[in-house]
């Protein structure tokens, strides 16, 4: 049976083949996503509030481990059970709680539960028809006054059509939903292609008239003017709740 590229079954097969030695995981460079360490240093080296963090599409844990080293209590998840098993094997004694979960079908107890949400190149690895739902899911993980980091590779004229389905500026802005606001979006030139680095914050609403990010507006119009807006975090509809995770044995 043909398996759609980018589906959970496709990732399951890829990681199983990689474990068997018959294929390679293209993004497994044994190091964190480019720019993640710089961002963590910029943001937290001088202090700042810690708490719970979640790493989306964690693969073998190369992003999750440095986030934990900054003092966060980290949950990291991947849709591939094999990836999670290998992450546990590669990081013995890790403080990271590695889990099996699907970003578009999250356990209800994770919604609004994380002070820091890290999304590095997983959105672009999903088929385009899932991008909007997945971006909303990313936002749904963020706690009141929490923050979201998105790192994604920018599309260029020479890139063939996906996979990976590289995100436009507008698509990166889709995490600005459900009470989360995009506060800064940079395009950073890097070897192997420019990266989008977007930081978002979730805020508590004090004025009910303030709109949340309207995806029909251009991104610039959705950036906060003064950064003082306080917005309400809404819970996701209960239809997306109730999924439980299993922690595979290493």
Residue ranges that bind ligand SAM, judged by CB under 6 A: 8, 11, 27, 33, 57, 59, 62-63, 78-80, 83, 102-104, 120-122, 125-126
Find the shortest distance in angstroms from Cβ 20 to ligand SAM. Answer: 16
DSSP state of 246: B
- Report whether 145 contacts 114 (CB < 8 A): no
- Which residue, 54 or 202, is less far from ligand SAM as judged by CB? 54
- Report whether 87 contacts 65 (CB < 8 A): no
- Which residue, 11 or 72, is less far from ligand SAM as judged by CB? 11
- Which residue, 76 or 185, is less far from ligand SAM as judged by CB? 76
Find the shortest distance in angstroms from Cβ 181 to ligand SAM. Answer: 23
Find the shortest distance in angstroms from Cβ 89 to ligand SAM. Answer: 15
Burial of 151 (0-12, 13-18, 19+ CB in 10 A): buried
DSSP labels, 93-157: T-SSEEEE-BTTB--GGGTT-EEEEEEESSGGGS-GGGHHHHHHHHHHTEEEEEEEEEEEEPP-T
Find the shortest distance in angstroms from Cβ 118 to ligand SAM. Answer: 8
- Which residue, 117 or 212, is less far from ligand SAM as judged by CB? 117
Find the shortest distance in angstroms from Cβ 50 to ligand SAM. Answer: 21
Give me the residue label for tokens 């590229």: 5
- Which residue, 66 or 222, is less far from ligand SAM as judged by CB? 66
Residues 217, 219: Cα–Cα separation, whole Å: 6
- With CB atoms as reference, the residue minimizing the distance to ligand SAM is 57
């Amino acid at each position: 049976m043909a398996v759609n590229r980018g589906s959970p079954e496709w990732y399951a097969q890829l990681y199983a083949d990689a474990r068997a030695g018959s294929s390679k995981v293209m993004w497994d460079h044994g190091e964190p996503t480019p720019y993640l360490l710089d961002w963590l240093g910029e943001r937290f080296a001088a202090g700042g509030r810690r708490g719970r963090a979640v790493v989306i599409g964690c693969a073998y844990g190369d992003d999750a481990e440095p986030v934990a080293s900054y003092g966060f209590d980290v949950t990291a998840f991947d849709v591939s059970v094999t990836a999670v098993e290998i992450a546990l094997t590669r990081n013995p004694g890790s403080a990271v709680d590695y889990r099996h979960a699907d970003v578009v079908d999250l356990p209800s107890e994770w919604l609004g539960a994380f002070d820091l949400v890290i999304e590095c190149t997983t959105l672009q690895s999903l088929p385009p028809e899932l991008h909007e739902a997945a971006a909303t899911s990313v936002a749904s993980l963020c706690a009141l006054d929490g923050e979201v980091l998105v790192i994604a590779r920018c599309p260029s004229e020479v890139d063939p059509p996906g996979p990976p389905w590289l995100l436009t500026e507008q698509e990166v802005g889709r995490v600005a939903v459900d009470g989360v606001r995009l506060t800064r979006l940079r395009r950073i030139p890097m070897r192997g292609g420019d990266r989008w680095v977007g930081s978002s914050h979730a805020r508590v609403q004090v004025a009910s008239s303030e709109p949340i990010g309207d995806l029909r507006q251009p991104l610039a119009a959705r950036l906060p003017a003064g950064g003082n807006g306080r917005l309400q975090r809404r819970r996701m509809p209960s239809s997306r709740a109730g999924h439980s995770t299993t922690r595979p044995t290493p």
